[in-house]
């Protein structure tokens, strides 16, 4: 059944497939290759490792006319590492046809990329920022483009490339094939497809799924004593555009808000203790995009209508199936997609499985992000920010304003104290470029601390009985009616 997909390829492309060691197509290749070869615009939901590079790389190799030394296919990727990987595979696929493939990305010298463009690269693979540099300079001409591919579109958008891609759009020919590949299809990916694609066909490898789901449901298993730390890890990894973080009690709302703010997050709270004026101020800020994280109880969140929330995170597990539906309904509104993540401890896992059965919702387990993954995400975001800033400098400006500091950086990196200083500079840079209400001083936390704690610098956790774990303490509090 699968053999014809490869057997029907031109002989020179099939040689490239054999060199890569591919003996049979993966499911995504089996579905996508015939559709791409027909010239259709596609939205493909496929995760990393599914064989999607071959799914678009093989049709590109088949479509390129090697007699024309012009750029005919463009693949946009979120990181330089992915760009290199994709370019390597596409180059192998097209080698026996004489296809020239060129990777283009920031952080390296322009010279080799300029030379590759001057030779006539048939396929260009790279990050949007550096591609835009070459387009503006007149070195990359897209007037003969036949195929445009967005690889890992959700990642492209999460790293802030949307303005660059909109500008690239102005340089594209109207007659072309456009295909979008993404592990998830949130609203921002749909917006991208509406700008670049024409009547696309949707391809998902999820059985029975005929359209992008409105809300992606996940849960993370975490010890109750490590919830706040793991909440921070999730926020650092996901970097939501905006989110509501739900807690079951007012005490936890105060604690989580204070915990996040002490770690530099743009967070505020809303609970039954707030005055109407303070409540309205918080709501005004989050609706205006001036507040990124809102921590709330279920009762306090009733009636909140925020259409652009990208994430709903349950710090405390929902107390009932109905509560879960109400929480997750805060995102995915007005036809937009969203992500719902629940932190679930061992105390809560039984009830959490019960609510899945009652609500008939399949919730996937998401492993907690490792420190290595989080740091890699930071590195990617920093690389994108720096690339944006460097783009507006001429070579002379870079020499004067950037390269002159290389000896200082090298000297600092040679010692432990120097590396700590560099880390502090990176931390300050990330904080300055985080969208917050104020660059100088963040607004005060809206809270109503218990009597005697008005001057406290941080909201304390509710008192824990001797020998009692956090989960048992919360259950005791619920039995006695403490809540929102």
Q: Where are the domains of the chain?
A: 3-204, 215-369+447-479, 371-432
Phi and psi (nearest 5°) for 229?
A: -65, -40
Token pair for 66: 């090697």
pLDDT score of 300: 64
Architecture of the domain defined by 3-204:
3-Layer(aba) Sandwich (3.40)
Q: Strand 243-247 to strand 293-297: parallel, antiparallel, or no bridges (unpaired)?
A: parallel
| Contact (Cβ atoms closer than 8 angstroms) between residue 97 and residue 10 | yes
- Give the three-state DSSP class for 295: strand
Q: Which residue ranges of the chain lie beneath pLDDT 50? A: 1-2, 207-212, 334-335, 435-445, 447-484
Burial 163-178 (b: 16+ CB within 10 A, else e): ebbeebeeeeeeebbb
Pairwise CA distance, residues 352 & 70, whole Å: 56
Token pair for 283: 């709501």
Crossing angle of helices 371-390/128-136, nearest 10°?
10
Number of H helices, E strands in the chain: 20, 14
| Contact (Cβ atoms closer than 8 angstroms) between residue 46 and residue 183 | yes
Q: Which residues contact 349 (CB under 8 A, 6 or more apart)?
A: 221
Token pair for 374: 């989080």
Pairwise CA distance, residues 193 & 177, whole Å: 12
| Contact (Cβ atoms closer than 8 angstroms) between residue 412 and residue 422 | yes
| CA quadruple 417, 418, 424, 429: dihedral, nearest 10 | 180
Q: Please indicate whether the domains covering 3-204 and 215-369+447-479 agree at the CATH topology level.
A: yes
pLDDT score of 467: 39
Question: What Rg, from alpha-carbon coordinates, does the chain have?
Answer: 25
pLDDT score of 18: 94
| Contact (Cβ atoms closer than 8 angstroms) between residue 172 and residue 142 | yes
For residue 42, which of 26, 27, 58, 55 has the smallest C-alpha distance? 55
The CATH number of 215-369+447-479 is 3.40.50.300
pLDDT score of 481: 42
The answer, as to whether pTM is greater than 0.85, is no
| Contact (Cβ atoms closer than 8 angstroms) between residue 207 and residue 328 | no
């Amino acid at each position: 059944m699968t053999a014809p997909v490869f057997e029907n390829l031109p002989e020179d492309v099939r040689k490239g497939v054999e060199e890569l060691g591919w003996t049979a197509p993966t499911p995504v290749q089996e579905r996508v290759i015939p559709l791409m070869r027909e010239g259709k615009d596609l939205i493909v939901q496929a995760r990393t490792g599914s064989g999607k590079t071959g799914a678009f790389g093989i049709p590109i190799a088949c479509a390129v006319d090697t007699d024309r030394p012009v750029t005919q296919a463009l693949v946009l990727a979120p990181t330089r590492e992915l760009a290199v990987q994709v370019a390597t595979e596409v180059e192998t696929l097209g080698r026996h046809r004489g296809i020239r493939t060129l990777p283009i990305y920031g952080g390296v010298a322009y010279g080799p990329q300029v030379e590759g463009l001057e030779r006539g690269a048939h396929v260009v693979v790279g990050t949007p920022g550096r591609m835009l540099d070459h387009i503006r300079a007149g070195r990359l001409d897209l007037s003969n483009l036949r195929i445009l591919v967005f690889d890992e579109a959700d990642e492209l958008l999460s790293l802030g490339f949307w303005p660059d891609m909109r500008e690239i759009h102005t340089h594209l020919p109207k007659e072309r094939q456009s295909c979008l590949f993404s592990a998830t299809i949130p609203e921002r990916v749909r917006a991208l497809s509406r700008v670049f694609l024409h009547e696309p066909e949707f391809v998902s490898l999820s059985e029975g799924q005929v359209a992008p789901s409105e809300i992606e449901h996940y849960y993370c298993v975490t010890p109750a004593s490590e919830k706040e730390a793991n909440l921070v890890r999730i926020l650092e990894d996901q970097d939501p555009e905006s989110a509501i973080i739900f807690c079951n009690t007012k005490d936890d709302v105060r604690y989580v808000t204070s915990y996040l703010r002490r770690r530099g997050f743009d967070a505020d709270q809303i609970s039954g203790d707030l005055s109407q004026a303070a409540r309205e101020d918080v709501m005004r800020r989050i609706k205006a995009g001036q507040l990124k994280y809102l921590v709330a109880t279920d009762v306090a969140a009733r009636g909140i209508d925020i259409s652009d929330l990208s994430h709903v995170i349950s710090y405390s597990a929902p107390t009932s199936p109905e509560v879960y539906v109400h929480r997750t309904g805060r995102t995915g509104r007005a036809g937009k997609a969203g992500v719902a993540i629940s932190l679930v401890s061992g105390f809560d896992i039984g009830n959490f499985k019960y609510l899945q059965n009652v609500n008939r919702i399949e919730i996937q387990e998401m492993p907690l992000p490792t420190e290595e993954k989080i740091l890699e995400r930071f590195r990617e975001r920093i690389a994108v920010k720096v690339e944006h800033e460097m783009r507006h400098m001429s070579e002379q400006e870079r020499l004067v304003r950037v390269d002159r500091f290389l000896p200082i950086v090298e000297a600092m990196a040679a010692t432990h104290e120097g590396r700590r200083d560099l880390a502090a500079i990176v931390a300050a840079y990330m904080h300055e470029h985080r969208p917050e209400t104020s660059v100088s001083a963040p607004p005060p936390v809206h809270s109503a601390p218990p009597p005697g704690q008005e001057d406290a610098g941080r909201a304390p956790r509710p008192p824990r009985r001797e020998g009692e774990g956090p989960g048992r303490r919360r259950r005791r509090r619920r039995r006695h009616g403490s809540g929102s």
